Structure formats: structure tokens, C-alpha cells
Homo-oligomer: A and B are copies of this chain.
Amino acid sequence: MKIIAKGILAAKGYKTGSVAAGIKRQKLDITVLYSEKPANVAGSFTTNVVKAAPVLWGQKIVNQKESVQALVVNSGNANACTGEQGELDTLEMANVVAQALALKASEVLVCSTGVIGVPLPMAKIRAGIASCVAKLDDTNIAADETAHAILTTDTFKKEVAVEINIGGEKVVIGGMAKGSGMIHPNMATMLSFITTDATVSTYYLQALLDSTVVDSYNMISVDGDTSTNDTVLAFANGFSKAPPIESNEQYKAIFEEAFNYVNIELAKLVVLDGEGASKFIEVEVKGSLTKEDARLMARSITSSSLVKTAFFGSDANWGRILCAMGYSKAHFDPRKVSVTYQSDGGTVLVLDKGQPLAFDEELAKKVLAEKIIRVKIDVGQGKEEATAWGCDLSYEYVRINGDYRS
């Protein structure tokens, strides 16, 4: 597996066009992704009962198990809680793209992200889509612009791509994501888009995506709020000359490793850009009785406001970590737990098999002052493990969200 450039346009046969349509102030805010050949598609969507109109449309299209050829994404407005008009607007977005590209509306997926409860500015969006389609290209610039066009409060674009060898031929999996706040995905996440030129069936792609989200997007948290618009879409257009992935167990293993890598990296990038975050926290829970227990504990720790503020303050307040494990609904025995903080600043063991240690506070401050911190939990009971990713809770998070709409 080789890490390569160009994100969502790294795989063959995909083009994008992006413009600033005026939904946000003078920023790229609408993008169209086009696959030169019909692509199989898999999707994973928010479990929030309040689903944005484009999520309902996306579920319908993905459930048809038919090929698609385009995706349109706007940022700056989530088209959520917008009633019947919201559904009509989503359908119109699909129609406008379909007409411009000589497709059926049912071959066009739609995603929106931004403020909730405000109707879409459809005149701007119609004009924007036309401009996007006119610009469709597969250059480095096109890849850079599309990754920017889907952002909201994000401070950097999030993309990753890898190249693998399948039966002597090159296969590429690339992707891009957005997300910074309202991040606590459940069965899906913020927006994340994956493209591959591999030949895979829709059923295989969907099953793979379903298993991947559990240990990637579903293991990140910025603020505990599961969004109304979370969507992951994976496209496979078969442009690669490589044999079908499903024709060989070894191909599947290689493909799945790369697919997981791309999704986990995108998920980590979202957390790294968590709203107001000054630190990236990786929580590794091992020695758990079951995998699900390990996941519950790891994610409960990264979701705790008290744990997050302690990281912000570089405070080795490990009691809050135990407390968060304790209400995670996971089964474990607190008397067997060990906790270690680790970073470029050093390593400090603070709890050893349930026994609090008189650790070096100076060293702990140094370890926790770093930007990237790893918390290693040994539950001391079994062999299962899981990793979750989160960030600290800062003044900046409060500032950003205290007045998001203005």
C-alpha cells in the first residue's frame, strides 16, 4: 500500500468542479463529483431521527443498489429541518445536475452541510451547479478545490489516497471528508466521500463500508452531538484494469486493508480539526473482555467534557478517565485497570492495576503539554481492544459555537 496525492481524484475516471456560489461568503461552497463510468455506490447515514432532506434522498438512492454517476455537495446550509420544501430542493439539485450531465436524477446523490433550519438559496445553487459542471476536471487544482468546497467550520481540507496492487494492476482508493463540530457519529459520520477505480459489487462495497464505519467514524467524537446530515458514500467505477476484488480472497484482504486505512485516516483528520481543538487525543483500550466493551470505554473517555477540559489544561486528572469508563455501560473491574499517558514529551503510568501511583507531576505536565497525546488503558481482563480518537474542549470551542449562525 502506497500513500499518494490527489484525494478524491486519485482514482481513475473521476472529475470534479467546484465554485463559490454565494451560500458562504466568498468561499467555495458547491461541488459536483462525476464518474465517467456508472459507479457502484455504498452509503452509511446518520442514525439521528431528524434526518436532513439530502440524507433521505441518499438512503433511497443507495438502497436501490443501482449504479450512480454524480454527487453534488453544498456547504453553508444543511437543508435540515426545512420541511417539505427541503425535500423538493434536494430533488431539484439532483435534477439540475442530471440535466447538465445527461443522467437520470436517480443517478445523482446530494449532500448538504451547514446551518440547520434555513431554506436553501436555490437560485444561487442552480447557477452554482451549472458552473461546477462546466469546470469538471481531474487536475490537482480540481482535487484541491472540491476538498475545500465541502468544508464549514473546518480549518483545513481532509483528503487521503492510497494505491494498491491487485493481480498486477494498480487500484486506487481515495477520499475526502469534512467535519469539525456536531461530531459524534453513529453508524455514519459528518460527510466523507470515497472513490475507487476497483471493480466491486454494490453488495460487497456496502458490507465493507458497514464494517469499516464501526471502527473509524463511529470511534471519533468532537462534542457528542450526532449530526442530522452524517453521510459516508463510497463509489467504485471499475476503471482500473485490475481483476474484480471479490474474485480472490487475497485481493479482498489487500483492498479491505486499504479501504479501512483511508476511512480511519479521514476520521482522524476530522478530529484533528475538531472545533476549537488544541490537542489530538488517541485512546487505546486493550485487555477488554469483548471488543464492544473496549469500544464503549474508549469512546466514553473521548466524549467526556471533564476529560476533554483536563486535556486542555494539561491536567493528569486520570480519575475522570476512570469515571468515564464507569458510565460507559462497558463491563470491567476498576480494580484491574492500568492507565498510561504517552506523547513526545514522555510516558507516565498513573494507575497500576487499580492502584493510584504517586507519579511525577512535572513529567505528567510535560507529557500532556504536547499536541498529540495517547492514553493507554489496560483493562487487565481479556484480549480485546479498540481505539477512539478525540480532542480537548477549549475556550475556542465555546467561542465558535456561542454564535455559529452570525
- Taking Cβ atoms with an 8 Å cutoff, the residues of A that contact B are 47-51, 78, 80-83, 115-119, 181-182, 184, 186, 223-228, 303-306, 309-310, 312-313, 315, 317-320, 322-328, 330-332, 334-335, 351, 354-356, 393-395, 397-406
Q: Choose one: B78, B306, B319, B403; the contact of A117 (CB below 8 Å).
A: B319
Q: Choose one: B115, B309, B400, B402; the contact of A319 (CB below 8 Å).
A: B115
A67 CB, min distance to chain B CBs, angstroms:
31
Main secondary structure of the interface of A (DSSP, over half): loop
Copies in the assembly, this chain? 2
Q: Choose one: B50, B83, B306, B315; the contact of A323 (CB below 8 Å).
A: B50
Interface contact A322-B225, CB-CB below 8 Å: no
Q: Choose one: B78, B356, B398; the contact of A312 (CB below 8 Å).
A: B398
Interface contact A49-B181, CB-CB below 8 Å: no
Nearest residue in B to A350 (C-beta to C-beta)? Answer: B117
A-B contact list, 23 entries, CB within 8 Å: A48-B323, A48-B326, A80-B319, A80-B323, A81-B334, A115-B317, A117-B319, A182-B320, A184-B327, A223-B305, A224-B224, A224-B305, A225-B320, A225-B324, A228-B326, A305-B397, A309-B401, A310-B402, A312-B398, A315-B403, A315-B404, A317-B405, A398-B398
Nearest residue in B to A313 (C-beta to C-beta)? Answer: B402
Interface contact A50-B326, CB-CB below 8 Å: yes
Interface contact B398-A354, CB-CB below 8 Å: no
Interface contact A404-B225, CB-CB below 8 Å: no
A348 CB, min distance to chain B CBs, angstroms:
14
